[in-house]
Amino acid sequence: MRPTSIAGLVCVLAVSASPLAAQDVEKLLGSWNCDTPEGRARLVFHSDNELSYNGVRVPYQLLEGAIRVVEEYGPVEYKYRFEGDDMIFTNPDFTTTRCRRQAQQAAPGGGGGLVSMLQGHRCDYTSSPDGWASSSRHLYFDGQGRFVLTNDASIWVDGAITNADGVDGQHGSYEVTGNNKGNEVYLHFDDGGESVLYVHVVDGYGRIVELWYKDRTFSRSLCSQ
């Protein structure tokens, strides 16, 4: 059965935009938050032929008033129109998806803005039921739009702990959409990937203390584990 909403974007025809559609490129470029039947989604138009949907980068073909994608069962066109700051997609099943342009933040490295509300170390920690193995991930936010992610693992071998520290260190930039519970924090990895975390706990000064990622919690307190 063919996907029936913009959430079904898989891959796209790598063809240049038509001349009539080119005038819409500047309107499309940038980040959009979309309300879909599956929940909030992140749509970013990076250029006139490449977009990312929830962190997955794909090419696309821009037509007049539509984008064309290739889904599992063949090409599909999603018609769109602009309503103020919103973009409305008409899905193949004639339902609509509303996307709102994300407000711009201070550029990474420039400081200030919402990114300054997330600074320092945030960690998660898990261990096996028998206590023989554990793993943790450490996120460091510089408060100016850059982050570092490292993965650490420990395992008991012959009565001693063997550590693998700093595995798969990754860097990138981050965006904070708000400092209220449930707001998104987007991690843009330098290798092109993207992840979405959610604000969970904020202190009395509006600083983000704890984040959620899927079923895992990133907290200051867990950095001492």
Task: Write down the pLDDT at residue 13.
Answer: 37
Task: Provide the residue ranges of all domains of the chain, joining segments of one domain with +.
Answer: 6-101, 114-224
* Architecture in CATH for domain 114-224: Beta Barrel (2.40)
DSSP code string of 11-76: B----PPPTTTGGGHHHH-EEEEEEETTEEEEEEE-SSSEEEETTEEEE-EEETTEEEEEETTEEE
Task: Write down the pLDDT at residue 136.
Answer: 79
Counting as low any pLDDT under 50, the low residues of the chain are: 1-4, 6, 9-20, 105-112, 154-167
Give the sheet arrangement for strand 66-71, strand by strand. Answer: 56-59, 50-53, 39-45, 30-36, 96-101, 86-90, 74-83, 66-71, 61-63
pLDDT in tens, 110-155: 334 688 889 888 988 877 666 555 677 888 998 888 998 887 654 4
User: At 187, phi and psi to the nearest 5?
Assistant: -105, 120
pTM above 0.75, yes or no: no
Element of type H or E holding 78: strand 74-83
Distance CA 210, CA 118 (A): 9
pLDDT in tens, 28-45: 887 888 888 777 888 888
Task: Write down the pLDDT at residue 103.
Answer: 62
Equal CATH topology for 6-101 and 114-224? yes
SS3 188: strand
- Fold for the domain defined by 6-101: Lipocalin (2.40.128)
SS3 221: helix
Task: Write down the pLDDT at residue 74.
Answer: 77
Question: Is 138 in contact with 149 (CB distance < 8 Å)?
Answer: yes
Task: Write down the pLDDT at residue 135.
Answer: 74
